[in-house]
Structure 1
Amino acid sequence: MGHFRLTPFIAVLESRCVNEVRDKDAIGEAVTDIYQTFVEDVIKKGYLSRKGYIFPTMKEYWFVLRPSELVYYKSRQEKEKSGSMNVEANSKVETKEGFKIILHTSERTFELGASNHMTRLQWMSALQLAIEYSGSGQSYQRIQACKRRSQRQGRLQEMLRAKAQLQMERNARLVAEDQAKELEAAVKEESKKLNELEQIREKLEVLLEEETQAKRDEEIVRGLQARILTEEWEKRAELERLQEEQKLLLEQEKRKRMEFEEQQKEKETQLRAAQLRLLQLEQERQLLDEKLKTAHNRIKLSENEKEVLEAQLIQVVPLRESSDRVRRAHSFVPSTKERPVILEIRSSTLKRPSKDGNC
């Protein structure tokens, strides 16, 4: 705005925009930011950590970046300047782990630290801009203002060209609409003729489709009939084969049944014979048990008689003879079958009279 000078511009701002703002510090900070941006050519401001010369510790400062230098202060008020770094065209910027930035200058290498990844990216892009515009004669903000002015002029020219082109397109559209109306009438007539022809063609296609469908149906029916006949013949042959197999199975079943009945009869006869034999053996066993009992009873009686006779023999016969006989009797132990004979011999000896006439 070439016709609008600075003094009336500030008066307008104060009368319309600053009346509602009563914080003098905020107004002063805003004016300072505008002044630094457009007069002092400040690209970016903010807090960063810087590694010291002597002690390798990171200390936080307030940094102000311009195209020629990077100045850092102790506080945000920018009253106590702590130092500066020359930013030249041959300077380089690198990243390091831990959100750190390495600035290589002709003097030395500086190590700076950001609070997070986004802040580091912003400072990296701002440092690259400062390095690019450090050797130019004009300030960075003026170059950006010129670019914006040229962009606005370019957009204005584009708008004028677009308006002219739009007007031409409107005129061409009106002419085209008139031609389109004429063509539309001709097209309507042609479309009517085409619709009639299309209807005739559709009818012919329907008739042709019906005829072809009838032929297909007839062929399908013939094929189905032939297939049904073949299936019936196959089923009939399969049924006859199954009947023959069933007859053979019935005959085999009858033969197996007769053989099974014969085997069952034989087993029944064998079972009866075995039962009779078992009864006979049971009877024989009972007879043998009775004989064994009688034999045991006889043995017991003979042993009792033996003891009685020995007692009598000891009382009657002299001691010497009795001892000899007892020794002989003990030396010769007869079997159960020989015991009755021995008892008879002993009884005969006992009946023999002694010298005194006693038995």
Structure 2
Amino acid sequence: MDLKAELLKSIWYAFTALDVEKSGKVSKSQLKVLSHNLYTALNIPHDPVALEEHFRDNDDGPVSSQGYMPYLNKYILDKVKEGSFQKEQFDELCWMLSAKKNYRPEGITGLVSRRQAFQIWCLFILLSEDKYPLVMVPEEVAYLLKKFTTAMGLEWQQEILDEMYSQNSSYTSGISVWNLLEIIESGRFSAVTTKESFNLAIVDVFQEMYHDVLKKGYLWKKGQVRRNWNERWFVLKPTNIFYYVDEDMKEQKGEIHLDSNTVVEAMPDKEGRRCLFCIKTLNRTFELSASDVRLRQEWMQGIQTAVRLLVEGKTSLHKDLKMKRREQRQQNEKKKLEKEGELSQLKQLQEEKEWQLQQTEEIKKSQMELEERRKELEQQGLKQQEDLQKALEKQLRETEEARASMAAEIEEKKKEAEMQQQKIQELEIMKHKMEMALNYEIEARMEEEKARVAQARLLTEEEIMLKQLMSLKEEQEEMIQKTQQEKEKLQHEMAEKAKELEKAYSELQDLRQTRKQSNQNLVQAEKNLRRASRTVKHWNVQLNRLMQPISPGGRQNKLIISHRGDIALICNDSANNEQQQVSKSSQSESPSEDSSGDPEEGIKDQLEDMAISKDRISPTQPNGVGS
């Protein structure tokens, strides 16, 4: 059992003690106080807000043990380190909370003090089963009570405990700690002499089982420096041997660390000391002396047991013994179940064997009855056979007589049979003919049936075609009606289009007349333009002639004025060329103006150009001529 499981058992008693109403729930304020005390007892840093954070989403009501367990594991038990706290003080805290509610020593003999009651409570937690609510099985109760009895030097009497179980059958399934305290307080399990001896026995057993004290007592130890012998109180535990000045254990003088390499050996007597033995460790060898050989043997066995536990990786002898006893109980229970199964099988086989014997007796009895019945039937059969033989002989005689009469009748019957045979042949011929006629009739009916089926099919198809024709006729009528409407609409539209066409035709005639008039005007304008062009050319020639200066010499400069009003002086040789170019340009410009589609505007432009040319020439001509 690990440390966490041991602590949880003690905390379970503390939690249930706070559940005053026995509802399985405890208020948060009480859990805060309990958690604070657990922090202190287990030497864990306090975390005052952990409980509030853990139950932050819950209401302010009480908390069940299932709700408290996650907080207990996370914030307390998971932080516990073995050896960092005093487990006895922790258990005493849980005992104080639990005993305040459940332990009532009033009215009892007072055999056990409150301190020893706490120690019994601790031993109960150590030996109880790992199931809640915690109980001790009868075997563990007997083991503990036997330890108390042996520690007092008394003889253990199992019969007293068995009698107690017989008086209270509920104890056989397990005993609670409060029932155990009541049994021990009553002193019924053994003849307790005095209260002091019983309390000392409880203390010894508590030291042995709870504090893992394998052995304790006075031994003589040889010093390392002075090499003198001193009597010390030794306490053997699985990992160490502590030695004190006396049994009060107030002043510790030293300790011996044990490990897997520790060796204990007996030594011969020397220096006036007897029953010597030594403990050899890696660092030192300790020489010890016991009072007698038996005590020396007990100490050597105890030390060897401690070393064996260390080699096996175990820290407590009684925890190991408890697990072995539990395994032994499980094996015994398993064997008991197997034995019960074997007994049930044997019982079943015995029942089957008895049943088979009973069946055998019944079969034998039935066989004897059958044998008697068979004999009776044989006698009845013989008698019936004799009667039957007589009857058969009588019947044989009657049969012979009947055979003779039957022979005559047979002859008559043969003749009748021949006649019947002939009639049968005739009937067969008639039957054959009737079958042929019947087959012919059947074929005719089948053909008739086929014709009826074909006629029905044709009628169905005709009906379908008729429905299709009717639907087509309806569609045709709808189409005709629709076509008639469209025709009337088209006629109306055609009438409107005809009116528009007539109107457009009249407009076209007007346009043609207008175009014809325009063509005539254009022809007249072209004639006027050609006439004006000739006039312009004439006037240009006259103007050029008038503008020629009079100068001596063969080559004369001429002043040329175009119809655009430009003035240029050119040589006499190039005057004619220039005049030809001007006449060509005028001819080339006239068609372009005609092609522009507005000949009258072209004529107006030419006339304006001519006027401008004249205006430009008129003021400058005298000066030019004079020069």
User: Structure 2 length as normaliser, TM-score?
Assistant: 0.26
Higher RCO, 1 vs 2 (CA within 8 Å, ≥6 residues apart): 1
Larger CA Rg, structure 1 vs 2: 2
User: Structure 1 length as normaliser, TM-score?
Assistant: 0.44
